[in-house]
Amino acid sequence: MPTLLVVNSSPFHETSVSRHLSEEFVQNWKQANPNGRVITRDLASSDLKTIDAAWVGAAYTPKDARTPEQNQALALSDTLLGELKAADEYVFGVPMHNFAVPSVLKLWIDQIARVGESFSYADGTPKGLLQGKKAAFLVASGGAYNAGTAMASFNHVEPYLRSVFGFLGVTDTSFLSAGGAAALMHGLDRAAFLQPHVEAIRSQFVAA
């Protein structure tokens, strides 16, 4: 049974462009995979904390040698990793915050980028352990930061996510950028703004 993990990180809901696009992706994925399963992780409502020395110590302690306190420190990380490993595909709704990913998404990445679980070092060489997965990133930004635009160098979202997920073994990735969303606050019609991005998502499934 194919499984899709949906990860949203916008603090907004009804007005969120990235959430609208991830919902569109899920609807099309369900039509293409009627027997599939969807796992949803809303980072805006998840109790994510920064990793600390105790967390790092627990992560580098062999599983059978961990104390109850160390197991507790890694409990959320274990849950998030379980979701990642169970899924065949991922879709991320990502708003750009200050030219980068939202803080809650960075906290999530810190929880799942874990030695021996999502990556390893064999003979000192890093190896991603989440291989054979596929990820789609739906990125919404107030300004236009696409390649070829005057502000393209300010876009740290796509290069960062490509690097992180590539390190973890996820190299089959796609990015859809919905730039210029700030115009929605100045009267731009929402449906007209969303339509080309919705069509781009639908076309992925028609082609498949």
* Six token digits for residue 147: 């390649």
Count CA within 13 A, CB hemisphere, residue 101. Answer: 25
For residues 152 and 126, give the distance between their C-alpha atoms in angstroms, rounded to a whole number. Answer: 30
User: Which CATH number belongs to the domain containing residue 117 in this structure?
Assistant: 3.40.50.360
Out of 3-7, 12-16, 54-58, 148-152, least confident range: 148-152
Q: Comparing C-alpha atoms, which of 79, 92, 167, 77 is closest to residue 130?
A: 167
pTM listed for this prediction:
0.95
Whether pLDDT at 207 is above 60: no
Which tens digits make up the pLDDT trace of 147-198? 888 899 999 999 999 999 999 999 999 999 999 999 999 999 999 999 999 9
Question: What domain range is 163 assigned to?
Answer: 3-207
Q: Using the structure block, give the residue that is written with the tokens 């781009």.
A: 200
pLDDT by residue (tens digit) across 54-107? 999 999 999 999 999 999 999 999 999 999 999 999 999 999 999 999 999 999
Strand pairing partners for 137? 92, 175
Q: In 10 A of CB 28, how many CB atoms?
A: 18
The total number of structural domains in the chain stands at 1
Q: Which candidate, 135, 179, 142, 140, places its Cα nearest to that of 161?
A: 135
DSSP 145-185: --TTSTTGGG--HHHHHHHHHHHTT--EEEEEEEE-GGGGG
Q: Are 127 and 121 in contact (CB under 8 A)?
A: yes
Give 107-110 contacts, CB < 8 A, sequence gap 24+. 107/43, 107/48, 107/49, 107/50, 108/7, 108/9, 108/41, 108/43, 108/46, 108/48, 108/80, 109/164, 110/50, 110/51
How does DSSP classify residue 98? T
